[in-house]
Structures are given as C-alpha cells and as structure tokens.
Amino acid sequence: MTSETLPGEQALAFRALHVPGRPLVLPNAWDTASARLVEEAGAAAVATTSAAVAWGLGAADGDRLTRADALAAVARIADTVAVPVTADIETGYADDLAGVGDTIREVLAAGAVGVNIEDGLYGPGAPLRPVDEQAERIAAARAAADAAGVPLFVNARVDTYLRGAGGLGDTLERAAAFLAAGADGVFVPGTFDPVTVKALAEGIEGPLNVLVGPGAPSVAELAALGVARISAGSGLAEAVHGLVLRAARELLDAGTYGGLAGGADYASLNGLLGGGR
C-alpha cells in the first residue's frame, strides 16, 4: 500500500472490483517477488495463497503457520505493491471469536484490505464447522474491521464442493448465513462446472468467487456465468515449483539446461524488485 492511500480508500477501491460479469482476476502470490510480478502483469489487486506462503516458510498448508508468520508475509507484500492486497487467513489463526478479531486487526495493521476465511477444519476427515458457529466467526471478523473503521472485504469460503461435504443446496444455505453475518462475498472452490457455477451465481446474493486451474472455463466464459472473482489459488506456485523440480532433475540427471529456457531475465527482475515502492 502506498503511503498516500488511506486503508479505507483502498478497501473501497478493492470492493468495487467485484462485479458479476466483469470479474476480478487474481493470480495469487506468496512473496514479494511473485506479488510484484503479478502487479507488473496488470493485476488490479494481489491476493495471497496460504498454501504457497506456508511452503515458502518451510511448512505444510492447513493452519500450520503461526498468525505472526503468516501476517508478516502479508505485510511484506502490502509494503511492496501499490494495488490492494487481500490475505488468505485460512480459518482465522484463532480458536475463539476474540482471536478472530485479533487476527483481523493484525491483517489491517499489515496493510491488507480483504481476507478469505475458510469454513472447514483441518486434519484427516475433518468436517466443516457448523454453519452457525462459522457465521459467528464471520461476524467477529466483520465487527473487528468495522470497529477499526475499514470496510474490509470479507470473502467467506464455502468448502462443500472441495471436501465433498454437500451440494448446491448446502452451499447456498451456508453462503446465505455467512452473508447475513457480515461477509461481502462467497468463495466456492472445488467446482467450475458451468451449470453449477451459473446456479451458484444466481443463488448467492453477493459476489461469487471461484477457483480455477487447468480444465476450467476461460475467464470470459466464467464472466458470462455471472462470476465476480476468479482465483488461481496455489496454482501459480505449483507451476513454479514444478518447473524448479523438472529443471533441477534435468540438470542433475541429463546435464542439460532446457528447463532454464524462457525464464524472466536477470536485469528485468533485478530492476523490478530493486526499485521498491
């Protein structure tokens, strides 16, 4: 965030980017380099991905990071880019409602103006939270942001499709409860089937966010279905790490360097990242 832009102004600007039929496209970042590159590519905002942030810090995804470590990464990104930043805060880095509020206050202090909050627990066979319990957590996040005077965009994730824990009806029920509790948008990963996405866009009374990857409909096709936000999630990081593995194996096994072709050149990266904000 630039020093000239107030958090409330940037939060409102971020909120205005969520337009059904003209979606905000987010190639998620995980560190200052990826964030600057995403901004340089033309993204209107930068979203973090909790999975890739965790991997970059030597941890697995799934609420393994401390709040301090996760939000330190968010702060570095927000300090590096001029566009709005929204933070993936997993399930909130807290067990109780007071802790969720503390997380939100620290998110705002880090310079982010949006959050994603997941509704599932982690661990083998872990369920979704009961809808009323998750709604209370959304309400706690909303209250903390409102008390700080920042119109933080709260994006409530509904993991019914991702975890095979329900279908359209269950998803719409949870989405409605979370919007009533103060969420601004609803993120439904786990499906990009056009019929389902259209039904979700029509049935959710707020901006719909979907997760994309290989095989997903194009941005234009999703826009036509009424989607307001499109996220790559950990996809960019997976592609980068896959390249590292392939190139390293080629170098070690074959002694050749084809995997290094097509990369960003040294001078351009050094110039982009050396200037700062």
List, for residues 162-173, the tens digit of each pLDDT value.
999 889 999 999
Global confidence as pTM: 0.94
The answer on pLDDT for 124 being more than 70 is no
Q: Is 1's pLDDT higher than 60?
A: no
114-117/153-157 β-pairing: parallel
Q: Supply the CATH number for residue 52's domain.
A: 3.20.20.60
Q: Considering just the CA atoms, what is the radius of gyration of the chain in Å?
A: 19
pLDDT at 248 over 50: yes
Domain assignment present for 120 = yes
pLDDT of residue 161: 95
Any domain includes 254:
no
Which helix H or strand E contains 21, and what residues bound it? none
The answer to whether residue 193 is domain-embedded is yes
Containing 12, the helix (H) or strand (E) segment is helix 7-15
* Domain range for 133: 7-234
Q: How far is CA 23 from CA 65, 146, 249, 253, in A?
A: 30, 25, 38, 44
Could you tell me what percent of the chain has a pLDDT over 90?
90
Q: Is residue 151 part of a domain?
A: yes
Tokens of 101: 């509020």
Under 8 Å between Cβ of 197 and 204? no
The number of folded domains in the chain is 1
Residue 96 tokens read as 């109780």
- Residue 74 scores a pLDDT above 90: yes
